[in-house]
Amino acid sequence: MEKNIIKARLSSLFFMSFLQVALIATCCRGKSQQPPKKHVPFFIFGDSFLDAGNNNYINTSTFDQANFWPYGETYFKFPTGRFSDGRLVSDFISQRANLPLIPPFLQPGFRQYYHGVNFASAGAGALPETLQGFVIDLKKQLRYYNKVESWLRQKLGNDEAKMTISRAVYLFSIGSNDYMSPFLTNSTVLHNYSDFTYVEMVIGNITTVITEIYRRGGRKFAFINLPDLGCLPGMRIIKPENNGSCLEEATSLATLHNQALSKLLFELENRLKGIKYSLFDFNSNLRQRMHHPSKYGFKEGEAACCGTGQYRGVFSCGGKRRVKEFRLCKNPNHYVFWDSIHLTEKIYKQLANQMWSGTSNSHDVGPYNMKKLFQIH
């Protein structure tokens, strides 16, 4: 019965998918060739928590792609390349800021960058060695941004481009893959460094990118810290002897990273004149929903909607990866996790709302929320 349902849904999907891809590409490019005055562009950097489809257009594996059913089934009704059943945090922020959904940089035909660009790539890390050859690492994302900046200067002139770049908001979600990939790929890289030194390397590369964007005129930055990596469904099953317990080694690295990121941003605020930032505590907000799902409107906080095995932690959603078997829940809105690593649209919407209008008093976001960053000129 379940197989018949899946086949029926697949048939419906592919009947309309080509037309829908064309439609979303058109809507995301926007109708206007010129930007509204004093608009605030939105530039997005990072990994699969923010990737809107860049990995659709690179030579990589299906482990780093989500351009197949059932990804995208809830909102778009077809797969866009987003690792969720629907929209991501960055999509909800775009809508709150009265922007179109920001398209991926590599989307064919996308050449109007006035509203911003999404450079994020699933699997990407701050370190170029992380999943090297399969993803767009953070420094390459920066090189893409430099091309967009040159385009803005050419189209707007230096003075207007300078003001546009300074008004823009730059959102980052990066680091998870630097710490998870050694466990998922059996890499020995973590044996070569102390945890502290390895985190320093990751933070160092993030610092380089922030300071380069600042040097080029960027002033408003937003960051999402790392979730409790060891407690993601896909990380819980790495060591069978743990019987589904969190992978403490990964949790420890995420904790060290978040402490270092918070310290870095405080230091940059004191060192770089005019810089403003928002840091969202993704870690604690996700943990609250995992431990108390019903409080936030969920029924399941630990197991994924799509996958197989314990916690549905095997990364098999869609049947296009190494393991073909997968089970799909009836209602993603009941789940915190969409697949073994990523979240459902419902929780992304909740988190985006906190990022947009949360207060520093609640310790969710600070010193600025996203709404304030977009308002500051």
Q: Cite the active site residues.
A: 48, 339, 342
Q: How far is CA 98 from CA 35, 36, 95, 139, 275, in A?
A: 13, 11, 5, 29, 23
> 291 Cβ partners below 8 Å, 6+ apart?
301
Q: Tokens 């309309």 label which residue?
A: 16
Query: For the residues of 200-235, what is the DSSP string, one character each?
Result: HHHHHHHHHHHHHHHHTT--EEEEE----GGGSHHH
| Other Cβ atoms closer than 10 A to 313 | 24
Pairing of strands 220-224, 169-173: parallel
What is the widest separation between alpha-carbon atoms in the chain?
Answer: 63
Instruction: Give the 3-state secondary structure of residue 41.
Output: coil
The torsion angle over the Cα atoms of residues 204, 369, 218 and 141, rounded to 10 degrees, is 50
Closest CA to 65 of 369, 344, 318: 318
The SS3 call for residue 242 is helix
Nearest to 52 by CA among 126, 105, 114, 99: 105
What backbone torsions phi and psi does residue 159 show, to the nearest 5 degrees? -65, -50
CB neighbourhood size of 51 (10 A) = 31
